[in-house]
Chains A and B, each alone.
Chain A
Amino acid sequence: MENINNWEPKIVAFLCNWCSYAGADLAGVSRIQYPSNIRVIRVPCSGRVDPFYIIKALQNGIDGVLVSGCHPGDCHYISGNLIARRKFALLKSFLEYIGIEPGRVQFSWVSAAEGDRFAQIIEKVTREVKELGPINKMVKKI
């Protein structure tokens, strides 16, 4: 078993191609330091993220999920992130309702020019998930 003291959370980040992924890129080229706990999955738009992706990630033992897209009004596809916002509002509320810690699943807006903000958000999410500890709900144990 992993030692709890040097346990590091695994976080999946779904980043939209047009803003958040570019934001992450900017953070990289600007050499801004941020925790290396995230595994980035590039998606065309935050609206592409099916709630099932998030639940499936939790089921596979991912400690936290972050979905990040363009700021409202900046979506490359005009309204993808606005439709996603409705979906995620319901999902987050529902997961919390059935008893999954709210910090496990997070959503944010990061634009292509906000490398700094991206690093800060990753820091915050990592800190929160770390506090929650390893995920034990939802995980498929065989």
Chain B
Amino acid sequence: MKEIEEKIKETIKKLFKENKIDIFIGYSEGTLPLRSTPCLITKPDDIEKLVWNSYCSNNLAVYLPRFFLPQQQKKDAKLPRIGILAKGCDSRSMVGLIKEHQIPRENIYIIGINCKGMIDIEKIQNTGFKMQEVEIVAVEEKGGKVLLEDEDNKKIELKKEELLADVCTSCQYNVPVIYDVLIGEEKRKTKEKERAAFIEEFEKKPLEERWKYFQEQVSKCIRCYACRQACPNCYCKECFAEQTKPKWIGVTDNISDIMFFHIGRIFHQAGRCVDCGACVRACPMGVDLRVFTYKLIKDVKEFFEYEAGISLEEAPPLATFKSDDRQEFITEP
């Protein structure tokens, strides 16, 4: 981890020196242990702030479209050149953004990283370590183990493998799909747990049970829209949730409105979601969003043989068609 961090810093120093980038987006130390926070660097002096560890889970691609809004793309306007750190999932989000003309590829300098998976803090809590009651003062990572030290100098050793986020355990794209430089070896994971297994399990449940689960999950939602804000693919200038003409959803806490928001948001991600887990991490109420978002990933793959964020050439699935697309669902007399 430390070696990679040094390598990242070295690369960025070089980039600033050669005047290849104006801004760099990476991670810096969070305010608490076990946290890293996104960080924008504009001066070479600030490079020392950057870190790379197992808590750099934010999808940084979310910060890109705002630099290239249409009003900034006027004639002769100088667009910033942005360097960015990319894990596998971040790079797939970037592919989506480039494909949808939200960011120009030539203005982005991608530093790819072979990601070993990010730790989900909630899983530390699930092991019985009461994070709310004791304060963690130090964290160390050594050979697949995470060592936590609390204020009473009590040490706890946990296996990193067991703490990885759900989206990371079955991740297949640990190496970025597109990059300008790669740090770490280019070795894709080959053995992969069946990612869609939990969807198949859910599909087998009876209809009413599925509805009950959807209702249960949705009723937790407080409509803070954090899932939308954290998602790199949600770049609409005006979201349907805030549109007033037509007014799709009322500004209420009525469960029907919340359902509309979630169905709408999830459906808008059809063929674009890369399963980075940003929405799940951002949710303050612990809504199980992935069981719904992944269903569309699975369907898109099954129906149209398309996977989001893999290639820059392939047309988005809902913007194209084949003459023999499935139509068993069509009602016949």
Contacts and interface: CB of A to CB of B under 8 A. Distances in A.
A38 to B, nearest CB: 13
A97 interface: yes
B17 interface: no
A31 interface: no
Nearest to B207: A99
A134 B327 CA distance: 27
B263 interface: yes
User: Chain A interface mostly helix, strand, loop or mixed?
Assistant: helix
B270 interface: yes
B211 A72 contact: no
Interface string B283-326: 00000000010011001100110000000000001111101011
Interface stretch (B33-41, B64-72, B97-105, B251-259): B251-259
Given A98-B214, A138-B256, A89 B325 contact: yes
Interface residues of B, number: 44
The DSSP consensus for interface residues of chain B is helix
Contacts of A56: 248, 260
Interface residues of A, number: 44
A89 B320 CA distance: 14
Nearest to B257: A140
Interface string B71-100: 000000000000000000000000000000
Given A86-B318, A98-B263, A142-B254, A108 B325 contact: no
Contacts of A138: 256, 259-260
Nearest to A106: B331
A121 B202 CA distance: 32
28 contacts: A51-B267, A56-B260, A59-B256, A59-B260, A82-B321, A83-B318, A85-B330, A86-B317, A86-B318, A86-B321, A86-B325, A87-B318, A89-B326, A89-B327, A90-B318, A93-B295, A94-B295, A97-B202, A97-B203, A98-B263, A99-B207, A99-B210, A99-B211, A100-B211, A107-B330, A124-B333, A138-B260, A141-B256
